[in-house]
Amino acid sequence: MDHLLDICGLRIETRRGGGKAMLLDKVDLSVKKGQSFGIVGESGCGKSITANALMQLLPYPLRVSDGTARYQSLNGEKELLSLPAEEIRGLRGREIAMIFQEPMTSLDPIFTVEYQMFEALSFHNKRIGKREMHERALEMLRSVKIPRPEQTLRSYPHLISGGQLQRVMIAMAMLNNPRLLIADEPTTALDVTIQAQILELMNGLKAANGTSIIMITHDLGVIAETCEEVAVFYAGQVVEQAPAAELFHNTAHPYTEGLLRAVTSLDGDRADMGRSTSQSEAEAPHQNELYTIPGMVPPGGEWSSGCRFRDRCDRAAPRCAEALPALCEIAPGHLCRCFRTGEEVEAR
């Protein structure tokens, strides 16, 4: 499979108290054509700003300080981060579309859905007529299974429920048949039954149109349902990256393992996929105590030297404070940023 997007050495920094603070530190990612790529992490780990940087939507004073993002557009390779405003506007909403977390706030309340869908169409296609736009919009709303598409088109956003609005957002994003869809927490604000509908819809659209998807979420369940490749972010870095099945079954990084174990799961009493059950039972003082990652997520830019997870890691060693572990390949296609796993591979 060809690569659609290659992010290389992406760094994002902000100004803070006269100095600079690093929010994203040397992130390398590549998304293949037709692939769904998951980015998972807790708040403040840099997953949303990565997406916004790709679309040149970083809010001031955040800025990209280093790195490239090579995107294979229909008209040859483009470097997204340094693309002139004119050109990036031509890509946004056409080749690369984005869905945001809050459908209630990402549509303009003073315009009808129809008006806003027409805007997305006519911006990229100056010669399109009203009737054609109407048909395209209707067809798109039908494909996302909106019950009364005609009525929805004439409605203002406040008349539509959250789940339906997210469908409208997806329909709008898919209007120009994009090649890459960036979904930033698309289901976080929605109920589980609606979430299941939306995820199924996105899986269906990907299968039908071959759209690549970058799925940003904090929910490992959403990742498991939709993604082929997953990158786990922590403190502005990728700490683990692997195909989804590999990541969930051969979890390597202590942080990923903690995330998996910290939440109960309907599949079993505890999601003990990463480690053997006996060990966790011995550690747990009470029978139904949940596993926790001690401490808290460090605020953006205030990271300890050495391994950034070491303060919360139950297997930290003195050397973890001395140097930052590199992202090593521990199995084919499985990358992990931890001294321990790196050594296990060398010992083999």
| Residue 315 contacts another protein per CB under 8 A | no
Six-digit token pair at 53?
A: 């940087």
| Residue 244 contacts another protein per CB under 8 A | yes
Q: How far apart are CA 141 and CA 136, in angstroms?
A: 9
> 227, 275, 223: which is closest to 252 by C-alpha?
275
| Residue 64 contacts another protein per CB under 8 A | no
The residue within the footprint of another protein, chosen from 121, 183, 222, 335 (CB under 8 A), is: 222
Minimum Å gap between C-beta 263 and another protein is: 6
Tell me the Cα Rg of the chain. Answer: 21
- Which of residues 178 and 274 has its CB atom nearest to another protein in the complex? 274
> 313, 335, 318: which is closest to 326 by C-alpha?
335
- Which of residues 8 and 263 has its CB atom nearest to another protein in the complex? 263
Q: How far apart are CA 236 and CA 66, in angstroms?
A: 14
Minimum Å gap between C-beta 259 and another protein is: 6
| Residue 104 contacts another protein per CB under 8 A | no
The residue within the footprint of another protein, chosen from 1, 110, 266, 282 (CB under 8 A), is: 266
Secondary structure class of 145 (helix, strand, coil):
coil
- Which of residues 64 and 171 has its CB atom nearest to another protein in the complex? 171
> 313, 296, 319, 168: which is closest to 254 by C-alpha?
313
- Which of residues 200 and 281 has its CB atom nearest to another protein in the complex? 200
Please say whether the beta carbons of 319 and 219 come within 8 A.
no
Per-residue x/- mask for another protein, residues 18 to 57, rule CB under 8 A?
------------------------xx--------------
* From 84-92, 96-104, 117-125, 189-197, span contacting another protein (CB under 8 A): 189-197
- Which of residues 7 and 190 has its CB atom nearest to another protein in the complex? 190
The residue within the footprint of another protein, chosen from 196, 207, 208, 321 (CB under 8 A), is: 196
Please say whether the beta carbons of 182 and 92 come within 8 A.
no
Indicate the Cα dihedral angle 233, 270, 163, 189, nearest 10°.
Answer: -50
Q: ∠ CA(12), CA(33), CA(244), 5° rounding?
A: 75
DSSP for 11-80 reads EEEEEETTEEEEEEEEEEEEEETT-EEEEE--TTSSHHHHHHHHTT-PPTT-EEEEEEEEEEETTEEEEG
* Matching residue, tokens 């693309």: 83
Per-residue x/- mask for another protein, residues 135 to 174, rule CB under 8 A?
------------x-------------x-xx----------
Minimum Å gap between C-beta 268 and another protein is: 9
Please say whether the beta carbons of 308 and 255 come within 8 A.
no
* From 25-33, 57-65, 187-195, 315-323, span contacting another protein (CB under 8 A): 187-195
* Matching residue, tokens 């659609």: 4
Per-residue x/- mask for another protein, residues 273 to 312, rule CB under 8 A?
x------------x-xxxxxxx-xx---------------
CA 221 to chain centre: 13
| Residue 252 contacts another protein per CB under 8 A | no
| Residue 195 contacts another protein per CB under 8 A | yes
Residue ranges in contact with another protein by CB under 8 A: 42-43, 147, 161, 163-164, 191-197, 199-200, 218-225, 227, 244-245, 248-249, 258-260, 262-267, 269, 271, 273, 286, 288-294, 296-297
